[in-house]
Amino acid sequence: MSKGRAEAAAGAAGILLRYLQEQNRPYSAQDVFGNLQREHGLGKAAVVKALEQLAQQGKVKEKVYGKQKVYFADQDQFDTVSDADLRDLDVKIVALTANVQSLQQSCRYMEAEMQKEIRGLKEECAGYRERLKNIKAATNHVTPEEKEQVYRERRKYCKEWRRRKRMATELFDAILEGYPKSKKQFFEEVGIETDEDHNVMLPDP
């Protein structure tokens, strides 16, 4: 192995070891790849190889369930947790779970409302595009002021569409900061559909 590849492999192993220790829960190689690929740019093959290397070195534990392997931090390195601490953690987990469920419910409601408003805006935009098309095709049937009014209203609705999309994106990003799974998994669990899912794009300003 070249020096550059050795350093890259060591870097990947260090990132994965730190991640497993911080999270302290079992992950498959696919889970680790999905969670870290965007932030660190790790390839799936590099993740699999680094996890196997860490397991061979005894730095992490490996368990096989059927055809799948899972990896987790060596529990011997952590302090023993008392029953009281476990009860406190259980209480926190219940509270956090309730909070996540509440956020998911709020997201579903907001998504439904936003989809409703977006459909309305799309219909209005389609109507204005049709009007604009007819205006462009017509001769001496519309004043420059009326034409400008149509353009102005189109810009207004596109701006509102863009603003609402940005608000939704910021809300999702805030939720995902404390969400244990990937953005794609979050959208699937909550039932969120994006403009991209329907091949819809904001019109050019």
Q: What is the pLDDT of residue 79?
A: 66
pLDDT, one tens digit per residue, over 70-123 is 888 887 766 666 778 778 887 888 888 888 888 888 888 888 888 888 888 888
Confidence band for 205, pLDDT divided at 50, 70 and 90 = low
Q: Which domains does the chain have, with CATH numbers?
A: 1-73 (1.10.10.10), 144-198 (no CATH)
Tokens of 51: 């996890």
- Is the model's pTM score more than 0.85? no
For strands 68-73 and 27-28, give the pairing.
antiparallel
Q: For every residue of the chain, which 3-state class applies, written as one string?
A: CCHHHHHHHHHHHHHHHHHHHHHCCCEEHHHHHHHHHHHHCCCHHHHHHHHHHHHHCCCEEEEEECCEEEEEECHHHCCCCCHHHHHHHHHHHHHHHHHHHHHHHHHHHHHHHHHHHHHHHHHHHHHHHHHHHHHHHCCCCCCHHHHHHHHHHHHHHHHHHHHHHHHHHHHHHHHHCCCCCCHHHHHHHHCCCCCHHHCCCCCCC
pLDDT, one tens digit per residue, over 127-180 is 888 888 877 776 666 677 877 888 888 888 888 888 888 888 888 787 877 777
Q: Rounded CA gap, 113 and 67, in Å?
A: 43
On the 0-12 / 13-18 / 19+ scale of CB atoms within 10 A, 13 is buried
Q: Rounded CA gap, 23 and 12, in Å?
A: 16
Q: Rounded CA gap, 32 and 37, in Å?
A: 8
